[in-house]
Homo-oligomer: A and B are copies of this chain.
Amino acid sequence: LTAVLSRSQVRVRYAETDQMGIAYHGAYFVWFEVARVDYLREHGFTYRELEEKEDLHLPVIEAQARFLKPTFYDDVLEIRTRLTEISGARVSFEYAVHREVDAPAVATGRTAHAAVDKRGRPRRFPEALRQQLS
């Protein structure tokens, strides 16, 4: 599969910190969502339009993350996203979160998604989408 990366930036919000003084681990899954929507946008697809116009929804069916080093309030993080799999009705992404561009990732993760319609019934990816992303 393509090694094309997209790069997203998020700034850690106060609401995303916890009393340990670091970003709450649950926030990373929200950032991953921001990052994969950016990935789609850079490849010509607006997730909002996929939902509205194509009745294509991509609920998360699996999510995983490793938290290697903490991140902190007001940090500007770069999230590097890669599509790792796209089959008839499933798509997966990998993420690496960087605090500094040249340093190793402080967190990594992956998500897998089913392709369903508005009612949650499985459907296939439109062929154009599958081809352009893979």
| A residues apposed to B, CB below 8 Å | 11, 13-15, 17-22, 24-26, 29-30, 33-34, 37, 46-48, 51, 57, 59-68, 70, 72-74, 120
For residue A34, give the distance in angstroms from its CB to the closest CB of chain B.
6
> What copy number does this chain have within its complex?
4
Q: Report Cα–Cα, A66/B51, bound state, in Å.
A: 22
User: Given A64-B64, A74-B48, A26 and B15 touching (CB < 8 A)?
Assistant: yes
For residue A31, give the distance in angstroms from its CB to the closest CB of chain B.
9
- Verify B46–A74 contact, CB threshold 8 A: yes
User: Looking at the complex, which one of B15, B20, B61 makes contact with A24 (CB distance below 8 Å)?
Assistant: B15
- Verify A64–B67 contact, CB threshold 8 A: no
